[in-house]
Amino acid sequence: MEYKYAKRMSSVTASEIRELLKLTEQPEVISFAGGLPAPELFPIEEIKTVNNYVLDHNGEHALQYATTEGYQPLREWIAKRMNTRLGTSFCDENILITHGSQQALDLSGKVFLDEGDVVLCESPTYLAALSAFKAYSCKFAEIPTDDSGMIMSELEKALEKYPTAKLIYVIPDFQNPTGRTWSLERRQQLAEISAKYNVAVLEDNPYGELRYEGDFLPSVKSLDKAGNVLCTGTFSKIFCPGYRIGWIAGEKEVIRKYVLVKQGVDLQCNTIAQMVISAYLEKYDMDAHIDKIREVYRKRRDTAIKAIRSAFPSDITFTKPEGGLFLWIELNEKIDTTRLLEKCLEHNVAFVPGTSFFPNTKKCNTLRINFSNMPEDKISEGIMRIGRALNEFTE
């Protein structure tokens, strides 16, 4: 048959880069392309223990349907954790458990976006947030950024230009793809500007717990007096991604809307996954576990930075993130990193070309490096290979 797809499907297309990156699944390829946590740090034995505990003590509940809102003790833990770590004032009713924080992005599209609505985002920003929102046929306005985050005068200009803009999407902590962290001042300004223009903010925070140096900063939400800010979080980077447990947090009124939307979308999250994580949090020391992750990733970041300094030409700039999984390299502006990737694949090394992270403009001379997913020797070797490929490419 000739399928009569929805109009939105014309913008939901397979990415050329994703096809290229399929080649990176070969074992001989050192890939900096993913955003994967280090699997050797997953607490497998502890998960086994709590899995058995949950099935022994509460198996019928753990395997049955449950509420859309999510497992209450887990929602309560999340609220408390956010209050301690991010300065919010949440209780369980402010939290909806989502199928990874990616689902929180999709639900946000459904709750807020009509066809043609404008989403304001950092330039560059998280690739899969663009996919999530695009499916609601929105437009993007890219706001320029610098080392302190989104540039607020540019945000105000955009809000003047698009007075009906629906959503400001930001990743203030260890941003994807740049690794940058917003200054406190920018956070305060964003909270004020969102109130002034009465526009919702989605503060995406998958990496916030993974700080390797410097002090934790208050979330934009904690500075939000008007109730405009929603925040996401996830267990993917501090526990494991396989369980697909994330959350969205915000004022009760708007979270209730998300709950209604999620009911139609998939009824609820995995019951046993929520109970297993909750039991883990009760029986084990999550802080100690996160410390372990931070120590390993800090070294990997340092190794990556050192390797870049030695293997890359001097006309590049790159970020030195205080946390998270990624760093961002800007090459000589003549270099198209999508073409460089092809050359790199000949050298069995991969990264994500920066163009994917810009919804409208394309900065072709940028690239993203993930440093969480492989041991230090491979990081050094991989960066060296990119350096060699770059030499050949520019010759």
Degrees, nearest 5: CA angle 254-256-261: 100
Of 134-142, 334-342, 374-382, 384-392: span binding its own copies (CB under 8 A): 134-142
| CA nearest to 371, candidates 338, 317, 323 | 323
Among 17, 195, 296, 311, binds its own copies (CB under 8 A): 195
Among 132, 191, 210, 344, binds its own copies (CB under 8 A): 132
Told to check if 368 binds its own copies by CB under 8 A, we report no
Of 30-38, 184-192, 282-290, 362-370: span binding its own copies (CB under 8 A): 30-38
Question: Within a 13 Å sphere around the CA of 284, how many CA atoms are in the beta-carbon half?
Answer: 19
Distance of closest approach, residue 310 Cβ to its own copies, in angstroms: 31
Residues of span 140-179 touching its own copies by CB under 8 A: 164, 166
Rank residues 103 and 145 by Cβ distance to its own copies and give the closer one. Answer: 103
Told to check if 303 binds its own copies by CB under 8 A, we report no
Among 72, 83, 131, 338, binds its own copies (CB under 8 A): 131
Is residue 386 within 8 Å of 351, Cβ to Cβ? yes
Measured CA to CA, the distance from residue 308 to residue 111 in angstroms comes to: 42
Of 61-69, 148-156, 172-180, 212-220: span binding its own copies (CB under 8 A): 61-69
Assigned token pair, 361: 């403009």
Told to check if 244 binds its own copies by CB under 8 A, we report yes
Contact pattern for its own copies over residues 215 through 234, marking x by CB under 8 A: -----------xxx------
Q: Where are the beta strands (DSSP E) in the chain?
A: 30-31, 95-99, 118-123, 139-146, 149-150, 167-170, 200-203, 229-234, 245-249, 317-318, 326-330, 349-350, 352-353, 366-370
- Cβ neighbours for 168, distance < 8 A, ≥ 6 positions apart: 119, 120, 121, 155, 190, 194, 199, 200, 201, 202
Told to check if 16 binds its own copies by CB under 8 A, we report no
Told to check if 128 binds its own copies by CB under 8 A, we report yes
